[in-house]
A and B are shown apart, each in its own frame.
Chain A
Amino acid sequence: MNYVKCFSVFLISVSIITGIAIPMVPQPQGWLEFPIIPGLEDKARNIFFHVPVAWTSVLGFLVALFFGYKYLRTKNLDYDMKSVTSAGLGLMFCILATVTGSIWAKFNWGSFWNWDPRETSIFILLLIYGAYFALRSAIDSDEIRARLSAVYSILAGLTAPFFIFIMPRIVGGLHPGAKGDTAGSTPVAQLHMPTNMRIVFFMSIIGFSLLFVWLFKLRIRAAQLENHLSNKEN
């Protein structure tokens, strides 16, 4: 566990420093220079932070889905608690991703929100998290709540592939990898990045994922302590 903490701090700190401080030059040479992407220039640095945060919010949803599935199999309320904490963290990262995304959109494309397919899908993820918590707050019984929220998260997970893979193909958009973009590539829209940028990018993704694990474990332990204390009081 200590490795997770140290690694996440190290990776994110390094990616912050390298992501922000490394200069962007027209003809990069060696490892300490990034190329200038036409149209983006310095704003491209956002990619080291915005995309990993968005990825972590999806990770939070997938983990919540997984623990929901485990709950349905074993009826162990422990899994339900893990599902909620993951969903809470996922919601926080989703809000961060939407905010960083819209700030970047303002600087790059002119307005804060454009209903581009990727923007729409992060908005829908936000709605799904909101609906998940609304459902949870509307049910009193622990067991029924756990069951229904697990079912809803699986149902929402079923509609997710429609957004990720189909929508950007059909409806053209601003994000790279959409229909009108000739330079984009794979379904998950990886920019053609030179190796040094790619390293910083992956460091950031792994760093944020490990940060998610650390936050997750912290919240689980705190919830277990609370449970323990409330059990003792009874």
Chain B
Amino acid sequence: MVAMPDLLPALPELFLACAGMLLLMIGVFRGEGSLRLVSWLAVGALLVTGVLLVLGPTERTVTFSGLFVSDSFAVFAKLLVLTATALTIILSQRYLETEQLARFEYPVLLVFATLGMMGMISANDLIALYVGLELQSLSLYVIAAFKRDFAKSSEAGLKYFVLGALSSGMLLYGASLVYGFAGTTNFDALAALFAAGETPAVGVIVGMVFVAAGLAFKISAVPFHMWTPDVYEGAPTSVTAFFAVAPKIAAITLFIRVLVDPFGDLLAQWQQVIWFCAVASMILGSLAAIQQSNIKRLMAYSSIGHIGYALVGLAAGTEAGVRGVLIYMAIYLAMNVGTFAIILSMRVQGRMVEEIRDLSGLSKSHPMMALAMAIFMWSMAGVPPAAGFFGKFYVFMAAVDAGLIVLAVIGVITSVVSCYYYLRIIKVMYFDDLTEPLERPSRAASLVIAGTALFTFPVFFIFSNAILTGAATAAASLFQ
């Protein structure tokens, strides 16, 4: 008979799955008004999962007959995803309560989405990749339409669902072609097959491009970005905050693993695809954001641009490039969670506002919040002492070392262009007249804003070593 699989490498996932189902039960039996309890329990469960991850095995272990892999690359990315989800749950509470969305399913669905992301990050097989991706996507479709009585939210959910199903179809088609021509879905076996050095069949390359297209949709890289602004604008703001961070980190980690691990020896075949996606995303992200007046749409275009910069590191295809992407995503997490904490605090006389001009005069009514927002914007634009500069620095360095000088030059030019709209927000906050003051942010939101702002500016600058070495170990574990 078959031996019991080694469960230890997957212990964090198993714990989170059980915790998710337990939270569901607690919510069902306590009924209405259990959002607060379930939310804090969910945050606790995510914390315990993080601790289990850190204490777990650090060397590469494969279990479940090769479907699941745990290495320091996975641990690093999973810690980022867990942090993003926990912060989003904390930030969401007040928003959900004031918008009459206080239902306990929200944190439960976020926990299941996180579980799906952890499955994606640890996938070592095309089948495991697909089930992880679907678990994540299905939860996201539901929470996008969570404000079900509003047409915009339902529209966002439906749009995301239809386009997401299309991308899943492309991914599956590609996976079936790879399976048909290579005879296996396992990443290790695929890597061994391509390492043999023979030119792969056309079918494998077509299949790989289809898989890459499906994944590019999930990280909303241009030309697969059309859904992003509409979904970001339509979904409830707390959901947008989640969409902008955790799924992006998980999907780009999965993207890296798929391209570097099984298809690593086909670098010449996929480098041009990633090159194009990176350039197109950077250009669109910096140009299309200029004329946006809604801050959620602006953040959507900004996230498309950021994904472009992260793809620059992947296009390099080297260990330094992967390290750059991981550092970039860690900084991206802090900047975006902080910015969305401020957007979630944009309330005037009891209603949410989301236009950029609503921020006018923020420096007079809430000087600290305006300062934090200014730090995030400087950082996103990539202006030196802020953390965002270092993120861009490492990916561009990797690209130059890999000989992709044109790519790096385009990246620098587009980030100068994107300064325009980031700095416009600072101008609105500091030089425009105050119209209506915003309400006081909740205590949780203030803490998150202060923490992420401090991380973005002085803390990362001084204590960057821990993250740099963590990312370096993670990237090295992928290239063993």
Q: Do A and B bind each other?
A: no
